[in-house]
Amino acid sequence: MSVIDWIVLAVTLLVIIVYGIYKSSGSKNLNQYLVGGRSLPWYHIGLSVMATQASAITFLSAPGLAYSDGMRFVQFYFGLPLAMVVLCITFVPIFHKLKVYTAYEYLEQRFDLKTRALTACLFLIQRGLSTGITIYAPSIILSAILQINVVYTTLFIGTLVIVYTVWGGTKAVSYTQMLQMSIIFAGMFLAGVLVVMMLPDGVHFKNSLQIAGKLGRVNAIDWKFDAKNQYSVWSGLIGGFFLQLSYFGTDQSQVGRYLTGSSVGQSRLGLLMNGLIKIPMQFLILLIGVLVFTFYQFNQPPMFFNKNEVDQVKKSRYATQYHALEKQYADAFKQRKEAATELTEALNTNNNDAIYFAEGRLHAAQAQTDTLRNRGIALMKQNNKLADVNDTNYVFLNFVTHYLPRGLIGLLIAIVFLASMGSTASALNSLASTTVIDIYKRVINKNATDGQYVTASRLATVFWGIVCLLMALYAGQLGNLLEAVNKLGSYIYGVILGVFVVAFYLKSIRGNAVFIAALFAEVIVIYCGYTETMAYLWLNAIGCLSVVLLAWLADTLLPKSSADSLAL
Amino acid sequence: MYNSDQEKELPSFIKNWNQFYGIIIVWLVFLIFVFWLITIYFR
pLDDT (tens digit per residue) in B1-43: 445 566 678 888 888 999 999 999 999 999 999 999 999 998 8
- Report the pLDDT averaged over residues A289-306: 93
Q: What is the mean pLDDT of chain A?
A: 87
> Which residue in A71, A213, A164, A216 sits closest to A426, CA to CA?
A164
- Report the pLDDT averaged over residues A126-152: 83
Q: Which pLDDT belongs to residue A243?
A: 86
Interface test with B, best of A85, A219, A267 (most B CBs within 10 A): A85
Q: Are A504 and A94 in contact (CB under 8 A)?
A: yes
Task: Assess whether pLDDT exceeds 80 at residue A190.
Answer: yes
pLDDT band at residue A83 under the 50/70/90 scheme: very high
CB pairs under 8 A between A and B: 69
Q: Which pLDDT belongs to residue A562?
A: 53
Residues of B in contact with A99 (CB under 8 A): none
CB contact under 8 A, A265 and B20: no
pLDDT (tens digit per residue) in A143-173: 877 788 888 888 988 898 898 888 888 888 8
**C-alpha to C-alpha distances, A404 to A195, A382, A409, A441, nearest whole angstrom:** 9, 35, 6, 51
Query: How many CB atoms within 10 Å of residue B40?
Result: 11
CB contact under 8 A, A233 and B32: yes
Residue A357, CA atoms < 13 Å, CB-side half-sphere: 10
Lowest mean pLDDT across A122-131, A140-149, A452-461: A140-149
Q: Which residues of A touch chain B, with CB atoms under 8 Å apart? A: 42, 71, 74, 78, 81-82, 84-85, 88-89, 209-210, 212-214, 218-221, 233, 263-266, 268-269, 272, 275-276, 279-280, 283
CB contact under 8 A, A220 and B10: no
The CA distance from A426 to A253, in Å, is 5
Q: Which pLDDT belongs to residue A536?
A: 73
Q: Which of B6, B31, B38 sits opposite A218 (nearest CB)?
A: B38
Q: Which pLDDT belongs to residue A480?
A: 54
CB contact under 8 A, A88 and B38: no
pLDDT (tens digit per residue) in A269-289: 999 999 999 999 999 999 999
The CA distance from A298 to A278, in Å, is 31
The CA distance from B11 to B5, in Å, is 13
pLDDT (tens digit per residue) in A34-49: 888 888 899 999 999 9
Lowest mean pLDDT across A138-142, A276-280, A486-490, B34-38: A486-490
More confident call, A226 vs A376 = A376
pLDDT band at residue A482 under the 50/70/90 scheme: low
A261: helix, strand or coil:
strand
